[in-house]
Every structure is written in structure tokens, then in C-alpha cells.
Amino acid sequence: MRSVATPERAGNRAEDGGREAGWDTRTLAVRYPGRIGYEPALELQATLVERRRRGEIPDTLLLLEHPHVITLGSSGCAGHVLIPADELARRGIALYETGRGGDVTYHGPGQLVGYPILDLKPNRRDLHRYLRSLEAVLIRALGAFGLAGERDESATGVWVGGAKVAAIGIRVSSGWITSHGFALNAETELSYFDAIVPCGLHGRQVTSISRLLARRVTPGAAAPAVVSAMAAEFGYGSVDDPGGANSK
């Protein structure tokens, strides 16, 4: 998945290691809707985006799983879905066109999906930098498992040993409020990716944390590392995490 691009940039970095001034006064609220259908998740995001725009809620990170679904982003190519719609339906795989940036991707059980609903104002209004920050979050989280995540200059996402372990596709609406986000393969059944050309990248492998470590790592087991990495990368002063492990 790739981003929606924009020419607008903004700076105003803090002196402390490049972090933005004021983010240490913010709270990141982490919420766990569980396994939720793609359409209800879109509706939930839309509600939270409006509430964040009105200042009714803090920055919020949704961590969840989806049932089997293939999504096409704003630059998606229908030809990158390799199985006919009737066969997808027979296999129980939904298909949606969606408002995020990028091409085609798969979501399903065993994958940790993160939807950050953040207000990038006043000093993070830079979509490319936001993408790099999400990549940094995922690289930090993989590091907690002893894995060396990498960027690929030709494609958005995170890779280990040349195989893609996390995809990113975002949307930023009016008021610089983010939605959509990232998908980290924890114990994903990777054969489902055979139904697509992942993110439009021909000939590129996908992998999961479980495959890389040769042991089971569930989305729930990966979530604390993601939350900690999100708090560190963006410099939040506190985390409202009902899981408790990441509260501070």
C-alpha cells in the first residue's frame, strides 16, 4: 500500500532529537475493537476522525484484525486481483474499493492492523514524513522481537530479508486528521496473498513474524511492541492503553 501524495510540507521540528514540540503533552489512546469487518471498521474510523477533528478525543490508535478481505486503494489496479470475484466469494474473501492511498492488499486473521486517528497539526503536516514515521514504528516493533526491519526506497512498507512483513496505506482528510494505516503480518496465513499482486509489486515475497521466528506470534503478542514503538516515535507523554502493559 502506498500513500496519498501532496505537495504541502511543514517543518517546525523541536530541538530534541527532531521530535515535534508539544507532542509530549499529548495522550495516545489505544483501542482494541477485536476482529471486525472491513466496512464497520471504515464507519468507526469515520466517526473517530470527526470526533478528533472537533477535539472530542485524543489521538487514537485502533489495533484490530479483519476477516479475509482484499482492498483496492486509490491507485489500485483491478488486474492485481488475480482471482475472479465469484471465486473470492466462494473462498469467503470480501473485496472493497477504499479511500486510502496505494494499490491492492490483503487483510485477514493473524494480521495486526493499525489505524492511527491522529491530528498532524500544527507541526507534522507532511505526508511523506508521516509515512516514514509509521515505517519507523514498525521497524522499532520488529526490533522488540530481534528482527531487523528495513525500508525499501522504491516502495512504502517494511521488509525483512527482502520479504515484506508490513504494508502501509494512509488517508489524511481535511484538518490533517489521519486514518487507515498499517498491516503487520504476525501469524497471517500467507497463502492468501497468492490472490493478489501485493501492493502492485510483482515478484516480491511476503512474510510474517511467525515465519521469520519459526514460532507462533499472535497479533495480541505483537500489539504491545507496536504501542510502545508508536509512543516512542511520536513522543507521546502518556498512553491510555486498556491492555495496561503500555500505560504510563
How many CA atoms lie less than 13 Å away from 132 in the CB half-sphere?
8
Contact between residue 229 and residue 134 where contact means Cβ atoms under 8 Å apart: no
Is 199 among the residues known to form the active site? yes
By three-state DSSP, how is residue 239 classified?
strand
Contact between residue 138 and residue 97 where contact means Cβ atoms under 8 Å apart: no
How far is it, in rounded angstroms, from Cα 92 to Cα 54? 38
Question: Which of these is catalytic: 41, 139, 197, 199?
Answer: 199
- Smallest CA-to-CA distance from 162 within 171, 152, 147, 173 is with 152
DSSP 20: B
Looking at the annotation, which residues are catalytic?
A: 199
